[in-house]
Structure 1
Amino acid sequence: MERHSQDSASTQTFVRLDEVDRKILSLLQQDASLSLDQIADRVGASKTPVWNRIRKLREAGVIRRQVAILDPEALGLEACFFVLIRTSEHDREWAANFLQALRERPEVIEAHRLAGDIDYILKIQVRNARAYDRFYQSLIGEVKIHNVTALLSMEEIKSTTALPIG
């Protein structure tokens, strides 16, 4: 594993991975509860070098954190809405208030600032349409928003947290 700058104009660096690093990361993306012995066995290496690689990947920020992925339906959170937001406000104070409002709402499971006609897209996971409406009313009561479009997901076709590191 080596760190490299993307280009001379960029301060962002990326980590160059070898085949063993990629195998380790692929395994961890599929099941982070695998034991060190299981990972070492599957990548064809011994335990200590695998542990050192995982430690270095964490230190380099490649592995941000390890979490349990829960089933929303098993928790009664059956409605997933994608919320498209347009705003006429673009100053720092508005953005800070908007970010704070999103961070305080656990039903917002993703938020992205976009290029193009839509300023933000949110992924909201709630029990039902009434719960979404409570979220919506609360948000617009706190932050000025020009236009909101909510799209209800009828079926999740693909969902993954695994990045294409192949």
Structure 2
Amino acid sequence: MLSVDLDLIDKKILELIQHDASLSVADIADRVGLSSSPCWRRIKRMEEQGVIQRRVTVLDRHALGLNFEVVASVKLQLPTRENLEKFESAIDGWSEVVECMTVTGAVDYIIRVLTLDMQAYDDFLRDKLLSLGLVSDVQSRIIVNVSKRTTAVPLALVEETNSGN
């Protein structure tokens, strides 16, 4: 069930901006068949509703020399509320960690880490992750190749309403 009302035009707007946030309101309006003012109001409404969280630029990590990517499973020694909060607070301050997810199963977290090379990842493990004193196990998986990565939400799965604001 939708937490907000979205019609076909809203979905078209979202599809456009999630693939290119640099589009002007005039460009978006033209592509969805609206004038600029109603298009701007729709975008503002979706921002206020939290559907649009923020607009960002996606960088090429390889062009920046960040060629070593790891997905690591992290198990805490004791997953208490206090330890979970300490871990998440620490992770929040580490730029190498680009994603952190609490998961079910044998581990507590899955993190995605970007570094320059294997030595930098080893330094991250020793100097940051393991020095917290909270972690009992880390299983690291080095990413060899990424065949698909997107920031796009699958809007085709979202049901439309007929509200048309």
* TM-score, length of structure 2 as denominator length: 0.90
Q: Kindly report structure 1 stretches of 4+ aligned residues shifted beyond 2 Å.
A: none
Say whether 1:165 aligns with 2:165.
Answer: no
Structure 1 residue aligned with 2:105: 116
Structure 2 CA distance for aligned equivalents of residues 160 and 112 of structure 1:
17
Task: Please identify, of 103-112 and 134-143, the stretch whose mean Cα deviation from structure 2 is larger.
Answer: 134-143
C-alpha contact (below 8 Å) 2:79/2:108 kept by paired residues: no
Q: How many angstroms does 1:16 deviate by? A: 2.4
Structure 1 residues 2-48: Cα deviation after superposition (integer angstroms, max 9, x where no partner) = xxxx5xxxxxx711210000000000000000011110111011111
Where do residues 1-166 of structure 1 align in structure 2 (5 Å cutoff)? 6=1, 14-138=3-127, 139-166=129-156
C-alpha contact (below 8 Å) 1:111/1:122 kept by paired residues: yes
Structure 2 CA distance for aligned equivalents of residues 153 and 14 of structure 1:
35
* TM-score, length of structure 1 as denominator length: 0.90
What residue identity is the alignment partner of 2:60?
D
Identical positions, percent: 38
Q: Unaligned 5+ residue runs, structure 2?
A: 157-165
C-alpha contact (below 8 Å) 1:86/1:146 kept by paired residues: yes
Q: How many angstroms does 1:58 deviate by? A: 0.3
What residue identity is the alignment partner of 1:154?
V
Q: How many angstroms does 1:144 deviate by? A: 2.0
Structure 1 CA distance for aligned equivalents of residues 81 and 103 of structure 2:
16
Q: Indicate the structure whose relative CO is greater, using CA pairs within 8 Å and at least 6 residues apart.
A: 2
Structure 1 CA distance for aligned equivalents of residues 4 and 59 of structure 2:
29
Structure 2 CA distance for aligned equivalents of residues 17 and 54 of structure 1:
11
Structure 2 CA distance for aligned equivalents of residues 73 and 79 of structure 1:
9
Report the aligned-residue RMSD: 1.1
Structure 1 residues 114-143: Cα deviation after superposition (integer angstroms, max 9, x where no partner) = 011121100001111111111111211123
Q: How many correspondences in the alignment?
A: 155
Q: How many angstroms does 1:97 deviate by? A: 1.4
